[in-house]
Amino acid sequence: MKAILEYWPVLAQGLWVTVWVALCIIPGAALGALILGALRLSETTAIRMTAMLVIEFLRAPSALVLLFWVFYALPLLPGMPRLSPLAAAILVLALDGAAYGAEIVRAGIEAVHRGQTDACHALGLSKLQSFRRVVLPQALSQIVPGFGSLARSMVKWTAIVSFIGVQDVLYVGNYIRGQTYNTVAVYCLLAGLYWILTVLCGAAFRAIEQVLPLNRALRAARVSTEAAPQMGATAGAAQ
């Protein structure tokens, strides 16, 4: 283990690359999932079917195959750019996460009672205003927990970026293993680091859940409901 600790600066740099990739792909996937999930529920058949085809196209191959295709095969097509390993990794993982997250968004939006949308239309709000101001704030209480689980998986997905040369924590760990021949200690250390990252990611999403508008309103209503009997009992004792 002492030999491994000598490589700690390099391992810390690889860990930062893993964290940076995760910090890029999770918000990117969230934005893409929100767009695809909303389009998946469009009243226009062409838009709805196109969104469904895009989702299925991204979900069909494994993330590793898609990563290889974008990094190695895409530049061979005429007019296609050659992306850096880091850019290709972020693009592929964000799109893959968006495809899986779109179904979470769709389910969350559908969980909002249709009467909410009808009331918005009765008040003269446009579809975009209804979605942004009424439907989405309520749907987030269903979307965020599910997307939090997906985000934890996405942190672990970052391990595949080492296959195209991104020097993440797994890439560095394999290098250290080759130098020290201490396979068990290196992979135990890597497992611990990924466990810490996923726990931190889960904690971040639980914190986000606490500040969602609907959850705050429910907590306030629960507090007022619990306080009402106590206030009545206090008033009765005073009389």
Tell me the pLDDT tens digit for each residue of 120-137.
777 777 777 777 777 777
Please state the domain count of the chain. 1
Q: What is the pLDDT of residue 239?
A: 54
Q: Is the separation of the CB atoms in 135 and 116 below 8 Å?
A: yes
**Residue-wise pLDDT tens digits, 59-102:** 888 899 999 999 999 899 888 888 999 999 999 999 999 999 99
* % of residues, the chain, pLDDT over 90: 44
Q: Determine the Cα–Cα distance for residues 149 and 202; give it in Å rounded to an integer.
A: 7
Exposure on the CB side of residue 125, measured as CA atoms within 13 A: 16
Three-state secondary structure call for residue 9: helix
* Whether residue 118 has pLDDT greater than 80: no
- Has residue 106 got a pLDDT over 80? yes
Q: Give the amino acid at 128.
A: L
Distance of CA 26 to the CA centre of its chain: 4
Supply the pTM of this predicted model: 0.84
Q: What pLDDT, in 10s, does the model give residues 125-183?
A: 777 777 777 777 788 888 888 899 999 999 999 999 999 989 999 999 989 888 888 88
Tell me: pLDDT of 233 over 60.
Answer: no
Tokens of 57: 């196209």
> What pLDDT does 154 receive?
94
pLDDT at 96: 94
Neighbours of 17 (CB within 10 A): 21
Q: What is the mean pLDDT of the chain?
A: 85
The pLDDT, as a whole number, for residue 20 is: 95
Domain that holds residue 28: 2-238
> Residue 76's domain is classified under what CATH number?
1.10.3720.10
In terms of C-beta density within 10 A (0-12 exposed, 13-18 middle, 19 or more buried), how is residue 63 classed? buried
What pLDDT sits at residue 143?
A: 87
3-state secondary structure 48-61: HHHHHHHHHHHHCC
